[in-house]
Chain A
Amino acid sequence: MTPTLTMATATRVLQQIRHDHRTLGLMLIMPCVLLGLLALIYQNTPVFDSIGAPLLGIFPFLTMFLVTSIATLRERQSGTLERLLAMPLGKGDMVGGYALAFGLLATVQAVVASGFAVLVLGLDVAGSAWLLLLVAVVDALLGTALGLFLSAFAATEFQAVQFLPAFVLPQFLLCGLLVPRDQLPTVLQWISDVLPLSYAVDAMQTITSYANGTAQVLGDVAVVLCFVLALIGLGAATLRRRTP
């Protein structure tokens, strides 16, 4: 892995996104629209304040997952990946460049969505708004990392899109948002314990309910970040220069 090549790749990915105004707009605006919709549905009830934060973690996770898996799949299908792998680009530069570029986008997206939720929609959480922002960014990074890793196993766009119900929705069902994790059947609890989104939602729920849960939140953030690094590492490891 060479820093200049990783940076060059990240710059190139951002240039591509910059040319695609509609994608950029959708990425930044959609989480805000969804959160706004949620606030409207639950207006005059305390529900928005209780599920707003967890969903603020989940929406960027979803969009970043989709954008990343399609972007890397496109790289594979257009032949540019093959060209790059015949050039002096390290596998780490490739995956690292994507992680950096989408990580930056994820951060911008999380900042916009959190700002909108707190300042415009009046999302009221017990913990600090900065902590809320931090968790939103880490969740978006998780989506990027999962997309980078899983797209290696998708041969077509159809498959890549099917990975959303296959690998993301089960995490959503088991993350503790629908049913608290400690009330799940034991086996499902175990499964929920090894899924990264559970920790992301745990962190958001702590921020929602407790003013002094910072240590606990940072613990969950650390777990999610470990998943992020492991997925990026796996993404680089499963990238093959030689293909059948």
Chain B
Amino acid sequence: MTGAIGAVEYHEAVSATRSARHNERSWVMNWFDRDRAEKSAPRVRASTHGRHELDRQLAIRIEALRVVRGGRTVIPGLDLTVRRGQLVGLLGPSGCGKSTLMRSIVGVQKVTGGSIEVFGQPAGSSGLRSRTGYLTQQPSVYQDLTVIENLRYFAKVIGLPRKKLDDEVSRLLNQVDLADHASARAGSLSGGQLSRVSLAAALVGAPELLVLDEPTVGLDPVLRRDLWSIFRRLTQAGVTLLVSSHVMDEAVRCDRLLLMRNGTMLADDTLRGVLESTGALDPEQAFLTLVDRAAARQTAGQAEGDSGVGGASQARGGVPA
């Protein structure tokens, strides 16, 4: 599946939306029902045993996360759980809080409130640092070192023994298709090649959780497709991926979409679910519809004394930012 969703799927989505449109309330309920069925299981807090069991399936658990940067509330209060092996797309315009959320998950962001657990440990714990791969938005490699020197250093930092360094570096070079440029200085590479070096550095040591901040930005369509197929293969191997993008088209590649705006989740669903619930034809239009609805909800909420809509995290879309 490349470029767009399949025709059959597309028609299903549109017709489902049409029928849902007859009753605005019913699709809202449908949406939340399916939403709950799909991902609320980890939220059940019936017994400690149940929670313990569910925790083992969880890669990320975020509760009431609040982040204030420079006096501005970037994330007002966010709940999120991600199961292991999921390929989650975090989509939203630049400045919506994607990077802040990702920085919080890898433990380099000062957090104002709430809790974040990764594999059951507080985010940023020393035990997590070798299990998590993090790709910053700018290619963060040493431009004055060669590709190999960069990867060898990061592999040493992750704690790989000297004997395994060469194998690991050549594995990474093949994975991001840079074997031909292994001895080139990173600064002499093109933008796309440089961001692949940066990605390879995030893949060092085969981490169980990958937090990738806009890994495909500025890449040509062929490379983007190749990268997404790498991501897909990684999830099949049990790796959890959280991938951000401001390009809505990339939604088609993900198991689950988080549409973010002003630090809140507008939607948390599959692509199909998002299209059905909004009646949109493509992810971008769906996003716009959701933005309008959130605005409308906010006005309505203010008028009715902010009673809140629904019980899931989407309701937080109504909280003034």
A residues with CB within 8 A of B: 4-5, 8-9, 11-12, 15-16, 19-20, 78-80, 82-89, 241-244
Contacts and interface: CB of A to CB of B under 8 A. Distances in A.
A243 B99 CA distance: 13
10 closest pairs, A vs B, by CB? Answer: A79-B140, A8-B156, A79-B136, A88-B129, A12-B153, A86-B134, A86-B106, A242-B110, A83-B140, A16-B144
Contacts of B132: 86
Interface of chain B, main secondary structure: loop
Given A4-B156, A12-B149, A241 B142 contact: no
Given A86-B134, A88-B157, A12 B107 contact: no
Contacts of A85: 108
Interface in B104-146: 106-111, 124, 126, 129-130, 132, 134, 136-145
Interface residues of B, number: 35
Contacts of B142: 12, 16, 78, 80
B158 A88 contact: yes
Contacts of B107: 86, 241-242
Given A82-B136, A86-B129, A15 B109 contact: no
Given A12-B142, A12-B145, A19-B144, A86 B108 contact: yes
A19 B137 CA distance: 26
Nearest to A89: B157
Nearest to B141: A80
Contacts of B201: 83
A87 B132 CA distance: 8
Given A89-B157, A242-B124, 14 more contacts: A5-B156, A9-B157, A12-B145, A12-B149, A15-B149, A78-B140, A79-B138, A80-B140, A84-B157, A86-B106, A86-B129, A87-B157, A241-B108, A244-B69
Contacts of B126: 88
Interface string B56-88: 000000000000011000000000000000000
Nearest to B69: A244
B159 interface: yes
A66 B264 CA distance: 43
A78 B143 contact: yes
B214 to A, nearest CB: 12
B157 A5 contact: yes
Given A16-B142, A19-B144, A244-B69, A8 B108 contact: no
14 contacts: A5-B156, A5-B157, A8-B153, A20-B144, A78-B143, A82-B136, A82-B140, A86-B108, A87-B129, A88-B158, A241-B107, A242-B109, A242-B110, A244-B70
A47 to B, nearest CB: 41
B305 to A, nearest CB: 34
Contacts of A86: 106-108, 124, 129, 132, 134
A4 B154 CA distance: 13
A79 B108 CA distance: 12
Contacts of B149: 12, 15
Given A5-B156, A243-B108, A83 B130 contact: no
B108 A19 contact: no
Contacts of B134: 83, 86-87
B138 A15 contact: no
Nearest to A11: B153
